[in-house]
Structure 1
Amino acid sequence: MTPGHGAAPAAAFAVPAALAERTVLPGDPRYPLLRSTYTTVARPAAVVLVRGPGDIAAALAAARAQGLPVSVRSGGHGLSGRSSNDGGVVVDLSGLDEVRVLDRATRLVRIGAGARWGRVASALAAHRLAVSSGDHGNVAAGGLATAGGIGWLARTYGLTVDRVRAVELVLADGTALRADAAHHPDLFWAVRGAGAGVGIVTAFEIEAMELGDIGVAQLVFEADPAGGALAQWASAMAAAPRTLTSAAHILSNGPALALSVTVAAADDDPDRVREALGPLLSGRYRPLQAAAQLAAYTALVSSAHEHANTGRQPVVSTNSLLPALTRDAARAVMATAGDRHRPAFVQLRSLGGAINDVPAGATAYAHRTAQVMAQGNLFPPHGHDDLHRLWAPVREHGTGSYVNFESGTGPGVFDRAYPGATGARVRELWRRHDPDGVLRPLTVG
């Protein structure tokens, strides 16, 4: 059930005895730091700080009995704001934050749904291991590792969901179970890309990768309105060694625009890093600034990023997954950033590589031909209607969208995130495992 957000006062929640020590109500000094998400100020009736499947089942049963909506929060960083609500119950997974190496030889690690990726990176670095997760240390595992996970090492490692080997979860009816390739395979398929609609994942077993230091480069280009610099970046990344993954932002640079690029190289050899970066530095559009160094992976995904989510960044967001960033597509992206009346803050991520080795039907993330993700963001007073109109020319070049970088929750989002046969299978599994839509994150057409 997708919650709304508004100024309505929080409803009363009759706290079950079993949850008395776990429940935070309005008036509790902890409530202001627990009630909201990164993008949205919310006023839930209760936040339940669960410690295991039994607490989750009790919270779900109490909410159902009292007719209250339910939100699930691992970290609260999601753009849609659906990890809290007004007048309902928030199942808060932040206490489920274990990070443990299960088998160093096979690089199998256990990560609780509430673990922040900065802390995960720090804990695994001690074993020279890493999981390519998101690009910010304050994001928690639960929301990311059930949707995709486009991280700094994605072209080397794949998506986070591609390395999930098993999950523990609680279904909407309170049933706790373990799913992997041999046990509950349909659930295991759905959890890797559309997990928010089938249950509440409490822990993941993930295959990590060997990693020492990495190369990190910062490049700045003049971003021409015709999209030449942007298309050059995308073309260079599509042809780059898989050791390279990059993210870019289009920023104001006085009266002009600049393309700021961060490149992560999964390699600790300076000569190989320098060689891999060569095509990004030597095209027609040369960087205005360029710097590179070797650094720990924790420099990019840092526990220092961690903060309480208190609705500090209201934003509306959408994205398009592009098979190629052609000159026409690049020009359309640049037009959104340069719009005179409502310029978008545009972010881009390079895809391809190991991500696209996985067959489209292997997980609920089906977008295995995309080379670039372009994301558009607008800030107040602009809203979803403004963004829809502004982004329409970009969407014409895309084949879908990544669910976690959509702030909307309507049926159009579902159709873009889960196209065709994938969408049909996701619909069926969501309805089978949560027939009342208690946990359903998106409106299904």
Structure 2
Amino acid sequence: MSDYGHELLFGTFLTPTAEDPDHVVALAELTEAAGLDLTTFQDHPYNADFLDTWTLLSWVAARTERLRISGNVLSLPLRPPAVLARAAASLDRLSHGRFELGLGAGAFWDGIEGMGARRLTAGQGVEALREAIDVLRGVWDADAPGPLRRDGTYYPIPGMRRGPAPAHDIDIWLGAYQPKMLALTGQKANGWLPTLEYLRSPDRVTANRLIDEAAVEAGRDPREIRRLLNLFTVDVSSRSRGFLQGPAEQWVEQLLPLVLDEGFSTFLIGRDDPRLIQTLGQEIAPALREAVARERAGTASGTGPTPAVAARSERHPGLDYDALPASLTTGAVEPGHPEYEGVRHTYSWQGSPALVIRPQTAAEVVDAVSYARTQDVPLSVRSGGHGISGRSTNDGGIVIDMSRMNRVEVLDRATRRIRLEPGARWGEVAQALAPYGLAMSSGDYGDVGVGGLATTGGVGYLARRHGLTIDHVVAAEIVTADGRLLRVDDEHHPDLFWAVRGAGGNFGVVTALELEAYDVDKVVYAHLVADATDTAQMLHRWGRLVEDAPRDLTSFLSLFPGRRGNPPMAQVTLVYAGDDVEAAQSALSPFLEIGPILDQQAQLVPYPATVVPPGNDHRGQGLRDTRSGLLHHVTPEAADLMEDMIRSGDVMIMQLRSVGAAVNDVARDATAYPHREQNFSVLAATVPDRRPQLDKLWAELYAHLDGMYLSFESDTDPARLLDAWPEPTLSRLRAIKAAYDPDNVFNRNFPISPATPG
């Protein structure tokens, strides 16, 4: 049995025909709409009937939001690796980490030679590819000292500047069939990408063995290498006509052994058939994932060590791994596990936890908390992992990852009551509620998890019309430090229910939330790009317009420093909470006067279109040093200081988000979020080596601030507690902390010390 334990991925292998370019792009967009993960394109630059694959990849990346893209496979002889490395990193950065590199040694040599490239033998092609992989990774290693220099027979590099680094660690997948290429795959690649119909000699089992043996000889774990498979001779029909030619349930039955017995975890269909693409995404992929999960769980329930806990390359001495409850072993991930890289980091922070626990039920959360209490290591809780503050990962500790608890339910449409589990993403919530004509304001980024935002505040695109997310929470289910699962609301543990809404991370692990959604169908969504040369005047004008606008209008402003002689730039998002286009135009039009407008767009869209989840991998790629504050008004004095900050070159981005209106309709003491008089949330972010300069600049703005939005602040200095929870809120929270978490088990979320007796 050779199940390498990888997450299953599904996608398409599309024909890049030049005759109808819109058709191939539409199929790529359909791939994303069908819920698939990846689209790929063959690369034959000598074929004049095909679009250039790199241009097509770039175009599709711009037309999609979360879809991964790759060549299948790129022709190395016509794409020199030094240039390819920079192109790949650029496309990866532009697509926010969605590019992977499928690469081949070369085929169809008459065509390659006809375009001016050198013809190579099969053996030479393998060695050229080996050199190319080293060049690619050398260019991407932007932090390595000195320029990249490499001796090489095929791709010598006398000396070139490294970089740029890609947005994520790009996988290199090799199209390999013969023993030397398979060995190279094991030695250096991240994945093996063959086509099923071309696998003749060696066969699939032998090929996997050769890859594994080469990986071990190179000091690598074979589980690091993903096995992908192109499928061409496939069809979906009501009756069986052969292998992968029949109903969806037949596909699941026939693909299952490829996963469990041969280790394949990515399936790409090579037919430009819209119906097949939709069926793969909507029926086959979910059913196969469920079947694989069931089989893996069954394997893990035996007497021997589970695959999740057997990969023990580097164990933390302060953790008793053997004491982990049996209920948690299937979802546990530790260093050395194939899925570790996908769960160790958050969006903005890199981490190296000793153990990641992924419960699927509230009972398993109880087990996880009880186990964590017995271990002398840090404990973090993660819902979506996007949190800017960095509190949902750690080094050497335990992370309780709630991503598998992600259900979204409409309990009662008449009362608009919904139930959300903390691992759901807000973009997914929006999509699930839309068929009911419901919505819930929830930040501005669809990948954010429910749990963190809905226990801290929730400043979203509908905030001025409908308030904070926490203002709509009517009940919560929470596992407390002593291992109790409690339902809290106005009648049951009302003190804890009050604390959960604004400081929930300090009191336990929330396993579900019930909220009252509101009736929202379409909204008017507008985006402006403005020249911010006169930064202070623009900020002051924008702030005044927001406060004067009807409460149906919410606006966020992002400010970026000027680069290479260009002035600072502002991006303004405006959302009108309704489909009255005339009223929206009246509310939006004044914002065209904030400064020179470089670009403007406005459209009537379903609310989910404003928070589409991109599905980004989390690799610590965001800005990790942030400062947060609240403003009553964007005064000229505050605007001048913010202009100084963005012109300093030491602040990478500033964001202002409008609150006020409905947010301030709620009484100050109604929840543990007491900031009910301010009109704006302010964030400034930078890179670690410029944090001292950020702190100096922020200190000058601090006198104009009143309060802080907790999730946007990475400085956990206890002196800032009163910014987050001014008295009497803090004293009330400390008393509740003493009742429910006297040992301060949950101490990562701006630690609130329990009140002392007496």
Structure 2 counterpart of 1:373:
681
> For 2:642, which of 333, 343, 346 is the aligned residue?
333
What's the secondary structure of 1:202's corresponding residue?
strand
Structure 2 counterpart of 1:91:
400
Please give the alpha-carbon distance, in whole angstroms, between the structure 2 residues aligned to 1:428 and 1:306.
39
Structure 2 counterpart of 1:399:
706
Please give the alpha-carbon distance, in whole angstroms, between the structure 2 residues aligned to 1:117 and 1:22.
23
For 2:599, give the aligned amino acid.
Q
Q: Is the 8 A contact 1:129 1:211 kept in 2?
A: yes
Q: Aligned pair 1:417/2:728, yes or no?
A: no
Greater length-normalized contact order (CA 8 Å, ≥ 6 residues apart): 1
Please give the alpha-carbon distance, in whole angstroms, between the structure 2 residues aligned to 1:362 and 1:408.
26
Spell out the pairing of 1:114-263 with structure 2 (5 A cutoff).
114-225=423-534, 227-253=536-562, 254-263=565-574
* The structure with more helix, counted as a fraction of residues: 2
Please give the alpha-carbon distance, in whole angstroms, between the structure 1 residues aligned to 2:420 and 2:581.
32
What's the secondary structure of 2:370's corresponding residue?
helix
Q: Could you tell me how far 1:278 is from its partner in structure 2?
A: 2.7
Q: Could you tell me how far 1:225 is from its partner in structure 2?
A: 4.6
Q: Is the 8 A contact 2:454 2:470 kept in 1?
A: yes
Please give the alpha-carbon distance, in whole angstroms, between the structure 1 residues aligned to 2:591 and 2:716.
37
Structure 1 counterpart of 2:604:
294
Q: Could you tell me how far 1:224 is from its partner in structure 2?
A: 4.0
User: Alignment identity in percent?
Assistant: 42
Q: Is the 8 A contact 2:455 2:503 kept in 1?
A: yes
Q: Aligned pair 1:36/2:354, yes or no?
A: no
Deviation >6 Å, runs of 4+? none
Q: Could you tell me how far 1:435 is from its partner in structure 2?
A: 1.2
Q: Could you tell me how far 1:176 is from its partner in structure 2?
A: 0.4
Q: Could you tell me how far 1:395 is from its partner in structure 2?
A: 1.4
Q: Could you tell me how far 1:159 is from its partner in structure 2?
A: 0.2
Please give the alpha-carbon distance, in whole angstroms, between the structure 1 residues aligned to 2:316 and 2:616.
24
> C-alpha deviations, 1:36-75, integer Å up to 9, x for none?
1112221111111111222122222222223222110111
Q: Could you tell me how far 1:258 is from its partner in structure 2?
A: 2.1
Q: Is the 8 A contact 1:191 1:364 kept in 2?
A: yes
Which sits farther off after the overlay, 232-241 or 403-412?
403-412
Please give the alpha-carbon distance, in whole angstroms, between the structure 2 residues aligned to 1:174 and 1:280.
52
TM-score w.r.t. the length of structure 1 is: 0.94
For 1:23, give the aligned amino acid.
A
Please give the alpha-carbon distance, in whole angstroms, between the structure 1 residues aligned to 2:633 and 2:443.
22
For 2:682, give the aligned amino acid.
A
Q: Could you tell me how far 1:288 is from its partner in structure 2?
A: 3.9
For 2:727, give the aligned amino acid.
G
> For 1:363, which of 640, 647, 671 is the aligned residue?
671
Q: Could you tell me how far 1:312 is from its partner in structure 2?
A: 1.9
> For 2:656, which of 348, 353, 370 is the aligned residue?
348
For 1:393, give the aligned amino acid.
E
Q: Is the 8 A contact 1:218 1:291 kept in 2?
A: yes
For 1:345, give the aligned amino acid.
I
Q: Could you tell me how far 1:381 is from its partner in structure 2?
A: 2.1
Q: Could you tell me how far 1:361 is from its partner in structure 2?
A: 0.7
Q: Could you tell me how far 1:9 is from its partner in structure 2?
A: 7.4
Please give the alpha-carbon distance, in whole angstroms, between the structure 1 residues aligned to 2:596 and 2:350.
43
Which sits farther off after the overlay, 11-20 or 410-419?
11-20
TM-score w.r.t. the length of structure 2 is: 0.56
Q: CA RMSD in A?
A: 1.7
Q: Is the 8 A contact 2:733 2:752 kept in 1?
A: no
Structure 1 residues without counterparts, runs of 5 or longer:
1-7
Q: Aligned pair 1:390/2:701, yes or no?
A: no
Q: Is the 8 A contact 2:478 2:510 kept in 1?
A: yes
> C-alpha deviations, 1:284-335, integer Å up to 9, x for none?
x4534332111121221113x2223221224200111001110111111111
Q: Could you tell me how far 1:187 is from its partner in structure 2?
A: 0.5
> For 2:737, which of 424, 430, 433 is the aligned residue?
430
Q: Could you tell me how far 1:408 is from its partner in structure 2?
A: 1.8
Which sits farther off after the overlay, 33-42 or 187-196?
33-42
Based on CA coordinates, which of the two structures has the bigger radius of gyration?
A: 2
Q: Could you tell me how far 1:80 is from its partner in structure 2?
A: 2.1
For 2:552, give the aligned amino acid.
T
Please give the alpha-carbon distance, in whole angstroms, between the structure 2 residues aligned to 1:16 and 1:83.
22
Please give the alpha-carbon distance, in whole angstroms, between the structure 2 residues aligned to 1:408 and 1:138.
23
For 1:272, give the aligned amino acid.
A
Which sits farther off after the overlay, 30-39 or 221-230?
221-230
> C-alpha deviations, 1:230-272, integer Å up to 9, x for none?
1100100001011100111112454311222010111112211
Structure 2 counterpart of 1:3:
none
Structure 2 residues without counterparts, runs of 5 or longer:
1-313, 754-758
Please give the alpha-carbon distance, in whole angstroms, between the structure 1 residues aligned to 2:647 and 2:693.
15
Count of residues paired in the alignment: 434
Q: Could you tell me how far 1:183 is from its partner in structure 2?
A: 1.0
For 2:714, give the aligned amino acid.
S
Please give the alpha-carbon distance, in whole angstroms, between the structure 2 residues aligned to 1:68 and 1:58.
16
Please give the alpha-carbon distance, in whole angstroms, between the structure 2 residues aligned to 1:147 and 1:215.
27
What's the secondary structure of 2:465's corresponding residue?
helix
What's the secondary structure of 1:220's corresponding residue?
strand
For 2:488, give the aligned amino acid.
A
For 1:171, give the aligned amino acid.
T
